[in-house]
Structure 1
Amino acid sequence: MSALRPARCLLLRPAPARPTSFRSRQFHSSPSHPARRRARSLNAKPKDTDYYPPPRERFKPYSETEKAQLAEIYSPEQLKAIEAGEQAIEPEDLLYQGELRQDPFGLKYLDDLSTITPVIDKPVRNPESNYDPNLRLKTEDEIVKDLAQWLKDLPAEPTRLDYMKFMDSRRMTVGDEKAERAPTSALAPKLPKIDDPEIRYAKRDKEDDPHLVRLMQQTGLTSKDLKKIRTKNLVSHPVVNQTRMGKIRSWYFLTIAGNGNGLLGVGEGKAAEPEDARKQAELRAIRAMEPIRRYEDRTIYGEVRGKVGAVELKLMTRPPGFGVRCQQYIFEMCRLAGITDLAARSSRSRNPMNTVKAAFQALKKQRLPDEIARARGLKMVDVRKVYYGGLV
């Protein structure tokens, strides 16, 4: 049984691709001349079109077997319409005008345009969505009416909060109230305060540290976020204060804190007992945490300098894979801040305490490229190579 051939009036069949002749490569240093070949046309000689059969031979009438196969699919009325369509379409037109479009506006896929694809042609909207098909914009009279009603309901002494409530509740469209409501609001939710009795006298387990609860109130971080913060004691030594009562001995600690993802803080503590001084320095470092700008979450933006006392240092950006090549105090700060590529150079004193403070000062002095471009009146592309030194 021969394969079932679809009707020409229902499906346009593309013409077969004509074979392309490839020229042999010339092994010569000079470029080859363009081929001067006459384009093929419909009036070509028979010997040139032997490989390309005439249109009427390619599109032959249906045989009895093919008609019997079509009768199993289509009704007699449909078969008459198919035969009429076959007779109405000229084979030459089907061959040279029924090809697939290769221009930019042609479809990139094969599709039966007689049917509707719900996903592409007519997307079905979710019936549970808030979309209102009858939604329309308000007229000027309706807007004036809403404004007059708001002025009528306004209290004797309006505040800025009343205006914000009006801006949040106003509607520029008419339709379903749920559908037209703005997704965002200008009014912020009630923020808890430290003096709020619900927080100050909140019920907590006996095992909770009161310092941790106080730290949560001051920083706004949760206990889960505070547990992710890491601390490192960089400097610790005893100090002596000479008074008329004699020498009073105490301990000094310098601690850094960070979450490894752009937050870094430095804190100092001094107490008579080492443990109290260490705890004091850790809490102060967590409270003093500030965001550190990072380029690609791995290095700094350009070169920055810091100076505290006699310590003068310079931090320099480096390409990926360079690592952190600097002294130990700056290395620990970069590790807690999440910086993996950096170089540092100290020109004068290397006092540990002033080195940590100068490095923290330099990290906070970074300037973003868009700030520099805006100050110079240039674009980002004009500043990038100069600012990064062409290294990244």
Structure 2
Amino acid sequence: MTRSYSSFVGRVSANQLWDSNTSVSNAGKKRGRGRNTKKRVDLNRGQKLGFGKSGLVYPGLTGPALVGKKMLNIGEQRESRVQSEAPAVEKKRRFPKIPALQRGYSGRKFPGTSIGPPDPINDYEFEGFDTRVLEYKMVSHMTGNLGRKMRVSALVVTGNGKGLAGFAVAKAPMGKAALRKAKNMAAQRLQYFERYNDHTVFHNFAIKEHKTTLFVQKMPKGYGLRCHRVLKTICQIIGIEDLYVKTEGRTGNIQNVTKAFFRGLMEQETHQQLADRMQLNVVEYRPELEWLPLPVASPSIGKSREEPIKEEAFDFENMYYEDGKVTFDDFIVKQ
């Protein structure tokens, strides 16, 4: 009895063998099964087939088998083999190289960097506008058919530095599309914020958004911006130059910090609005005028009321924060 032995060696090519281990069916690709498959490995990497230490020439393998009509035999290699050096391949950078003065507060990553003005709308161009990235992260959600879908979420703020600003959050499968979509959405949600002498807010205020609390304090000219790095970026876009902000709670939630600050700026009252609401003259005390009262606004009706004020003034110096905390200046005075 004669038996015939057969093997797949010689019948199946190397590409077909690799496809059997690395390929995924179309149904599997739709369900997200193609992300964890094996990758092809070059088994001949670092090896040059046919060349050894002996330097012999094998006809048909490392040299010609026939020269004219004469068949060659195995012999030593006479001519010197010159190997052409392959040009050096530059490694691709994961993040583009950004000049040091154009980087944000997160180094080479997107948060804090400028992505330019929004795209023009018809014939209108956003001249003098600048857009800064506040948050750039990956988000995902699970679907029944496609599995886990990943997207990029971008939070940006845009403005002209003269009180006009807006922010927006956008998501897209690719990062560039998310940034472009977010800055164009922010350009359609612009709001104008009144500034006191074009450098700070009109009065102190406290604002809360979920677990995030902001205590905003008005500061004189030349004080600068002493606040959260996200709030500092927003102030630069709006045009606020002098401000102090105390943050409490979940300060790592960038969206809540941004929403709280914008809502606080919208709810602040100008001197004229305060005079009309209280029906009283508004005066200001300045140290450069030796604390003399300086009238800044009067009621629109022309006269002030005679009833006493029942509303208590909001004073930061006598206010305690969470867990009995006080400001550093109050701590020095008490000591």
The two structures have a TM-score, normalised by structure 2, of 0.48
- More helix by percentage: 1
- More strand by percentage: 2
Q: Flag the structure with larger Rg.
A: 1
